[in-house]
Amino acid sequence: MSGAEPAPVVGERDLRVSDSEREHVGRLLQRAVGLGMLSLGEFTERMDTALAAKTRGELNAVLVDLPGIRLVGQPAQPQQAPPRYVHTPQQPRMPQFAPSSVHPVMPGNVIRTRMSAVTRKGKWQVPPVLIIDSNMAAVELDFTQAIMSTQVVEIRVRHQLGSLELIVPSEATVDMNGLQLLGASVNNKVRTGPPLGPLHLIIHGQMRLGSITARHPFSAHWKRFLEGF
């Protein structure tokens, strides 16, 4: 009598990944931008790949050429303990990198609104990736006092028939070159880059029949005006 067929062996590369692992890889990519290892274009391309990854092999592909990151399955170097970028069931907590360890990323990184107004200001927690899904709405995000977890923040937009206003500190930079516009307007009153200050926003996605504005607070404009005298 023949026995049952053995179950197929699943390799390390074929293990499925979770949303938390994808977000953690996103923080590693943002750290690489801050260290000058990746350009903003490379960051955006790799973030798209990471967010679409289903297995560890696909997720590893965006980190394989970055120094100082040990992939899953590789032995640790002697006298070193580099953090692993994905966790296993035996180690549920993910490692943190500075400055993320100072201000951990908080849940609730999706703003979804219909026919209403949403405002975030004051000392609100800003995640590395912020998703805005709005229709016939007005969204205002004030970053001047916000608590940042990373220098580079990616904002994915699906905005229709409404307005999006971004208020950033005077040293911040905003890149809107990745936006797809359809009957929409863009007014960027802020430097586009490179990310030299404490905050750099990368805005991409779709804007339909709406408007998006990036500006400094009005107090900054008055200060520059008075300094001109």
pLDDT tens digit string along 9-37? 567 788 888 887 887 787 787 777 767 78
| Both tokens assigned to 119 | 């405002």
pLDDT confidence tier of residue 108, bands split at 50, 70 and 90: low
Which residues sit opposite 67 in a β-bridge?
none
My answer on whether 141 and 206 are in the same domain is yes
- Please state the rounded mean pLDDT for residues 101-124: 74
Evaluate whether residue 103 is within a structural domain. no
Q: How far apart are CA 160 and CA 156, in angstroms?
A: 13
Query: Residue 157's pLDDT is what?
Result: 93
Tens-digit pLDDT profile for residues 45-93: 888 888 888 888 888 888 888 877 655 445 555 544 444 444 444 433 4
Evaluate whether residue 1 is within a structural domain. no
My answer on whether 71 and 123 are in the same domain is no
Q: Is 187 exposed, middle or buried (0-12, 13-18, 19+ CB in 10 A)?
A: exposed
- Residue 49 belongs to what domain range? 11-90
Tens-digit pLDDT profile for residues 143-165: 999 998 888 999 999 988 889 99
My answer on whether 165 and 86 are in the same domain is no
Residue 103 has pLDDT above 50, yes or no: no
Number of structural domains (the chain) is: 2
Dihedral sign (CA 111, 53, 59, 87) = positive
Evaluate whether residue 100 is within a structural domain. no
- Tell which phi-psi region holds residue 217, choosing left (phi > 0), alpha (psi between -120 and 50) or beta: beta
My answer on whether 114 and 218 are in the same domain is yes
My answer on whether 141 and 215 are in the same domain is yes
Query: Residue 213's pLDDT is what?
Result: 95
Query: Residue 78's pLDDT is what?
Result: 52
Q: How far apart are CA 190 and CA 80, in angstroms?
A: 42
Q: How far apart are CA 134 and CA 140, in angstroms?
A: 12
Evaluate whether residue 211 is within a structural domain. yes
- Please state the rounded mean pLDDT for residues 95-113: 52
Q: How far apart are CA 69 and CA 208, in angstroms?
A: 40
My answer on whether 114 and 199 are in the same domain is yes
My answer on whether 116 and 74 are in the same domain is no
Provide the 10 A C-beta neighbour count for residue 217.
16
pLDDT confidence tier of residue 132, bands split at 50, 70 and 90: very high
My answer on whether 66 and 116 are in the same domain is no
My answer on whether 74 and 135 are in the same domain is no
| DSSP letters for 70-88 | BPTTPPPPTT--PPBSS--
Q: How far apart are CA 162 and CA 117, in angstroms?
A: 9
Evaluate whether residue 3 is within a structural domain. no
My answer on whether 117 and 165 are in the same domain is yes
My answer on whether 163 and 211 are in the same domain is yes
Dihedral sign (CA 198, 26, 158, 125) = negative
Domain boundary among 90, 122, 148: 90
Question: pTM for the complete prediction?
Answer: 0.52
Query: Residue 77's pLDDT is what?
Result: 52
My answer on whether 28 and 83 are in the same domain is yes
Indicate the average pLDDT of the chain.
77
